[in-house]
Every structure is written in structure tokens, then in C-alpha cells.
Structure 1
Amino acid sequence: MNDIVIDDMADPVLTPGLIGAREGPADFPDRLSAQDVIDRAMAATGLHDFGTDGEGGSAGLFERLRVTLQSLHEDSGLTRGGRTTIVMNAVRALSNRLRVEDMIRRHPEILDIPIERPIFIAGLPRSGTTHLVNWLARDDRLNSLTLWESEEPVPATTVAPGEPDPRMARSAEIWATFGALLPHMAAMHEMSATGIHEDNELLFMDLNCYSWEFQARLPRWIDHYFAHDRTGSYAYEKRVLQLLSWQRGDAGRRRWLLKSPQHMENLPAIKAVFPDATMVISHRDPVDVLRSLTTMLGYSDRIRRQPTDPKGLAQLWIDRIERLLRTCVDTRDVWSPDQSIDVLFDRYMADQKGMARAIYAKAALPLTGDIETRLDGYLAENPRHAQGRVIYDLEGTFGVDEAALRRRFGFYYDRFPVRQDH
């Protein structure tokens, strides 16, 4: 097995490609007002109706946009390319929302499609949720989101039957470029346009998705996010799921399989919007999570931060993970045992097939021999560490006292008996 040691985290070696990425595209500004972002989205789509769903309607949407941009401008460590990426994503999110609302306006029957008994996977970043959702997605009785479709749920132009979808090509090009800039990312979290992805992007259209936090340091935005109820944003996600079901000609016949770490801190909101869902919550030692997460984000920070500041990154995410976990512990019981299951990472890795049977039983979904064969095929095709094993050093590289960190997370260990790697 190939061990990967990233030894330039604090002072990265910059390739010409990374230098260009730090600068960002010359034809796109790195600082826009909220109104500028709104105007660009409307100009890109020729549409103007952002809809009124989500917390606070359009006013709440635009307030979240304003807070995001203010937080972005307060992050003085970002490169120009780092800022530009976030501004471009804001324009893309609002453009997607405009196209969603336009499609629903022209086809109101979309909102009659039921979203029944979805299966939600929640869990800390780097706790096996990506593996789990891609594995279970081999069951073709379930609907799941590919990365390219989550990035652009509604096509900007009509795609003729049998023709390749340009959305897939755009996504593949973006992530191929990203992979070339950061070749070790494939060993940590490979981004494939056709892979099954999180439903964060659906929340992103209500500008209430924590994806911003992976790209910048936004304490103002985080405080605003926690200070407001997120139920309306999950109601908007349901609206987009109805549209996607309609586009697929599914009409609600297949159950949705959805996944995001963010779900772990939004258990009551999901319960309110999807009361008949099955909730699967993955649990892993948060110290192990932080070893992996800080390395992944610290490695990619060479594109978007100058200086990279590994120690500041670690402290930011220690605080953020604690906030997420305390919210999860405080609200976990909103999901009753007959609708939810806790998946301990070490037990999942030791007996993946047994855990799949437990999840299927909880979801009241028959696990047939044909489906088991498909699931077995995924495991055979996707062994752990196929792209190499990254060596993590939370104490040395990021200056974290792991023993103190374990004491800090004692409240979580008391509730969920995850195995701690000492």
C-alpha cells in the first residue's frame, strides 16, 4: 500500500497551476455585493422569480446572502481565487434556484409528487458517510443524487434524448482540473462527476448549506446559521426533490437516499419536513475525524489561503465539530428507535454487510439476493485506500493536544460508544 505524507502543509510547494488558481479568473470579480450576485444570477438565466419558500421567504434568502458576503470579506486570509470561487458559487446557487422556480411555475403538478419514506444518512465529515451512500445507491429501487446533477439540477438548455448532458461534461472538467491541482485528494475524498453526492447542493439553493465553511473562515455566517431555524430550508430541499423526481419520470415511486454531515445538526428540521423518513447516523471518534478533516482541508487550502495557517484551521474545526456534536446529542431523541439507527464506524468497517442488513431492516426495505449481489460488487470494486493511505499528524502538523481534545469531547463519548484510537 502506498503511504502518502503531506509534509508541506504550512509552506506548500506551489506549482504553476496552483499559482494560477490562487489568482482566480481575471474576468470575474472577487468582491460583489448581494445585489450584484442577484443581478448576475438573473442575467445568466433571464429569470427573476426566486420563489418564496424557505425560512423568511426571499427576504430570508437575501439576508443569508448578505451575511455570507460580509463574512467572506472579513476573511482576510483568502487568496483572490479563494474569494472568487465562493462568489461564483453564490451566483450558481441563485441561478439554480431561479431555474427551479421557473420549472415549477410552468409545471405546478411537480408539487403534487410525494416524497415518501426517504432514507437520510447523517454523520461527521470523514465518518464513512460517502462510502455508505455510494454503496447503498447500488440499489436501483432508490433515488440518489450524482455530483453533476446536484450542481445543476435543472438544465439551462434542452437536452435531446440520447444526447450527452452538458452538465455532466462541465462537472467532469471542473473536478478533473481540481484533481490535477491536488493529486492527493483522490486518496482522501475523490470527487467524480458521476459519483453519488451529498444533498448539500439542494440546501445551497436556499443559501443555508454549510459548504461555505469548507472554503473559508466565516464565524459571522456560522453564528447566523445557528441563530435561525433551518426547517424552511429543508422544505425547500423537498421542493427540489419533487422536481428531480418529476424530471426522472419517477413520480414518487422510488424512495430517496440522501446524505450530508449537516443533517446531524438538523435532526428536528428533517423530522418536521420528512416525518416518515429513516434516519441513519454514522458515529466516529471526533479525534479521528479531525485528523482526517484538517489534513484534507489543510491540503486544499494551498489553493485558497495565504498563508495556509494549519493551526488556525484546526482550532476552527475543533470548535465547529463540537458545536455540531452538541446539537446532535441534544436533539438525537427527536428520532425514535423505530425510525433511526446509530452506525458506529468501527463496527461498520468490521461488518459492512451486517450493518447493511440492519439499515435495510430499519427502513423496512427487503434486502433481496439480487440487491446483495450488487452491494457486494461495490465493495469488491472500491476497497479502502485504493488510491493510497494518507498519514495524518494532528499533533505535529496542526499543534493539537489529542488528550485534551478527547476530554473536550467527553460528552459525545458518553452518549455514543465510538472506539477511540489512542
Structure 2
Amino acid sequence: MNSAHKIRIEDLSKPVLSELQQGAVANAESQEIDLSVDAVLAAAIKNTGLKDFGDEGFKERLAEQLRSTAEDAWMNNFGRMSVFGTKVQQACSRLRVVDALSRHPEINNIEISRPIMIAGLPRSGTTHLLNMLAADTRFRSMPYWESRQPVPAPGEEVTHDQRDPRFQRAVQAYQGSDAMLPLMKNMHDMNPEHIHEDIELLDIDFASYTLEWMAHVPRWRDYYLAHDQTPHYGFLKTMLQVLSYYSGTGVGDAAGGDLAPKQWVTKTPQHLEQLIPLHTNFPDATFLVTHRDPIEVFSSTATLVAYMSRIRNPVIHMSEIANYWLDRIERLLRACVRDQQKLPEDQTMDVVFPEFMANDMLMVRRVYEFAGIIVTPEVEKQLEAYLKANPRGKHGQIVYDIEADFGLKKDALYERFNFYYERYPQLDPRTH
């Protein structure tokens, strides 16, 4: 029985900011933010002491992202400052990755064999599934603290645990973000140790939909969707090689001594609309595709975006948020319905949300069986320990109400997703 307490965000559309939030927003207004490629790259060069960004094609993508952000008429200076800081961090990571590949070309020889790759809508169980599988220590996965800085700074000891300087920096960042948006962890907890999605790695190539969560950027959405993402998924594979190299307990040869890394398990919702580029670069992967009623996904997603917007938008445009994310979810699902059938049937498994939530351990056993991996008694203990430590609604459960918050009735939305309900009738609430 789930005993998590229920939380209703009463000020979603008209936020009452805390003193901390007010102070942060006010302080940002006095800052001058230069949303230019030159400014981002100059800051990254200054922070790292490196200059080689590798293939310069990324500059066009970064320019589109920054131009799109500048066009967001809703955004305040705090929001612009957040985007700028994020882009600098990604550029720093790119510099360190290029440097690592230059100094250690053997990284390119590391094999990424038979990864398990999860694709599914936001809020459809991808995070829970990933973290359950990652509890099995036979897999290689990526904690959030590592995704923030995949390559350590020169001279830093790589311990790959809580002693790692990158972990300590992530803890400080998490504490700050938790203080600023305390209900984030109730919807999508980004604590440093949780196993994170590989979209952070695509971000280092400035080729993902992440920016859409940070700003109202239809220009960037259209640019991203108009371009073939296959080469950027090749970059993702390179990033998994880099992370595999640095997964030891030392630096240099000690860190990269094992050139037969563990089997990777990863996920990101973006994969749902990039299944062909994903398969092209990872032809021997096992693909787990999660499925949930899109109206429930929308309710959770739109609420999350509206809540995050309180510190970056002086006015919360609820109807625009709703329209944008209804469209975005539809695009993701149409791409999935179009492309999933093109994946090898013996490598692709559906994970249906209601079944997963009814018995997550049973579903994960099915995943292991499908992937041809034995569940040992030790793995059973690891999975059970994870579930015990991470009950659903651990921090309290948000109560979603799209009619009260967004002025939408569920019945009016079902028709829009008939194409998906026809493919997955078990998700259609009108049939049960």
C-alpha cells in the first residue's frame, strides 16, 4: 500500500515566490547576460584552460540554441543566466572530452557491447526502470553527478564514489536547486546519486531537446527535428566509451586499464523520436520502450514545466505550456509508432506502465529474460534493496489536475491520441 502523502501545488499558475526565489530573481536582473557563442566559448576556455572543441559544426547548433533562448519573450534574466551557465558547463565538458580523446586515443577502441537502452515518454516509468536495472552492479550506468562532468579536471583524483570531487560539486548544486525548487524532487528527483539519462551526453554535442525544458524555444525544436541526429548518436557512443575509460579508481592508464567495460544500461525520452539513429549506432542493443497513457504523461509533464517556470517567467503562461507539450508528446509518439516497428523484433520489448507499476519486480524479471541475462540471487537482493530504499512517492506525491490547472478536459484530448491508443489499446482509459 502506498502511504505517500499527497501534495497539491495551489499556486502553480500564480506563484508565490519564497524570499530565496525573490532574491535570486532580483539579483539576476542586475546581471548582463551575453547569449552569444563567443561569450559561451570564452567562458569555457577560461574555466578549463583548453581551446580545442573538436568538430566545429557544433557552433551552428549552439548559436541556434542561444538565438532561440533570446527570442523567449517570457523569460526573465534568471532564466537567461541559467541557460548561459548550462551552455558554458556543456562547452567545458566538450573541451575536456576532446582533450581526453587526444591524449588517450585508445578510448576509441573500447567496445560498447549489447547495451540496454530505454526509450519512452517523460513520466512513463523510464527513470524507475533505469534505476532498478542499475541496481544490478553487473551493469555500467551513469549517476547524475558523473553526467554533469564526465571527464575529471586535470589533477583530480577519480574515485567514482562520494569522495570524487565531481560528486561533491554535484551535491552543492543539488542543495542549491532543492532550496530553489523544493518540489522538484517530488516529480523528478535529480539527486547526485540517482542514475541519470544519457541526454546529458548528447547535450555536450549541443544536439538534444533538453533546452525545451528550460525555455520556450520553438525555433530550436524545429531546427533539431529538421536535422538527422545519426551523427550525434555516434557522439553518444563516443561518450559511453569515454565514461567507460574513466570508470576505474585512478587516472590515466589505471582509470582506463579495463578495455572490456561492463554492459551499459541507459535511457532518455528523446530516444523515442530517434529510434533509427539509436539503432544505427547501437545495432546490438536491447531496446526497452515504455508506454503510458499520454494524457497522464501530459498532466505530469505540463505541471513539472509550469512549476519550474516560476523562477524564470514573471507570468506563467499555462495555456501555452499546455499547447506546447501536448504537441511535443504527440510528435514523440507519432515518431515512435512510425519507427518502433523498424527495430529488430527480437531486440525490442514494450514495457507498459500499468503492468510495470502493478508488479515492477515481475516486469524487470521479464526484461532480464528477454535480454538473455540471468537473475542471480545476489541480483535479486540488489533489486529488492533498491525498491525498499526508494518507494514510490518517497518525497510525497503531487496531485495533478489538468482541468483546474490548465482548463482542459481529458475527454476532449483523447481523440488527439487515437493513433496511439489504437496501437496500445490497453492504455485507452475509455475502454476500462
With the length of structure 2 as denominator, give the TM-score of the two structures.
Answer: 0.93
Residues 135 and 382, structure 2, Cα contact 8 Å, conserved in 1 = yes
Residues 279 and 339, structure 1, Cα contact 8 Å, conserved in 2 = yes
SS in 2 for 1:329: helix
Structure 1 residues 28 and 348, CA gap change in structure 2 (3 angstroms): same
Structure 1 residues 64 and 160, CA gap change in structure 2 (3 angstroms): closer
Asked if 1:15 corresponds to 2:22, the answer is: no
With the length of structure 1 as denominator, give the TM-score of the two structures.
Answer: 0.95
Asked if 1:39 corresponds to 2:47, the answer is: no
SS in 1 for 2:155: coil
Residues 280 and 341, structure 1, Cα contact 8 Å, conserved in 2 = yes
Instruction: Provide the identity percentage.
Output: 42
SS in 2 for 1:280: strand
Per-residue CA deviation, residues 169-203 of structure 1 (Å, 9 max, x unaligned), is 11111111211222222221111111111111100
Paired with 2:92 and 2:114, the residues of 1 have a C-alpha distance of 29
Residues 9 and 299, structure 1, Cα contact 8 Å, conserved in 2 = yes
Shift of 1:26: 7.4
Shift of 1:383: 1.4
Name the structure 2 match of 1:186. Answer: 185
SS in 1 for 2:118: strand
Name the structure 1 match of 2:202. Answer: 203
Name the structure 1 match of 2:124. Answer: 127
Residues 110 and 261, structure 2, Cα contact 8 Å, conserved in 1 = no
Shift of 1:416: 2.0
SS in 2 for 1:409: helix
Q: Answer with 232-241 or 178-187: which moved more.
A: 178-187
The 5 A counterparts of 1:36-115 are 36-52=39-55, 58-59=56-57, 61-115=58-112
Residues 284 and 418, structure 1, Cα contact 8 Å, conserved in 2 = no
Per-residue CA deviation, residues 359-417 of structure 1 (Å, 9 max, x unaligned), is 11222211112111211121122111122121111112112232121110111111123
Residues 271 and 334, structure 1, Cα contact 8 Å, conserved in 2 = no
Q: Which structure 2 segments of 5+ residues have no match?
A: 249-257
Q: Which amino acid aligns with 1:13?
A: V
Moved over 3 A (4+): 23-29, 160-163
The 5 A counterparts of 1:343-422 are 343-421=351-429
Paired with 1:237 and 1:221, the residues of 2 have a C-alpha distance of 20
Name the structure 1 match of 2:215. Answer: 216
Q: Which amino acid aligns with 2:42?
A: D
SS in 2 for 1:209: coil
- Of the candidates 268, 274, 288, which is equivalent to residue 260 of structure 1? 268
Per-residue CA deviation, residues 82-102 of structure 1 (Å, 9 max, x unaligned), is 111111111111110110010
Structure 1 residues 386 and 283, CA gap change in structure 2 (3 angstroms): same
Q: Answer with 160-169 or 342-351: which moved more.
A: 160-169
Paired with 1:253 and 1:33, the residues of 2 have a C-alpha distance of 39
Name the structure 2 match of 1:55. Answer: none
Shift of 1:254: 0.7
Name the structure 1 match of 2:283. Answer: 275
Name the structure 1 match of 2:173. Answer: 174
Shift of 1:206: 0.6
- Of the candidates 126, 137, 140, which is equivalent to residue 137 of structure 2? 140
Q: Which structure 1 segments of 5+ residues have no match?
A: 53-57
Asked if 1:288 corresponds to 2:296, the answer is: yes
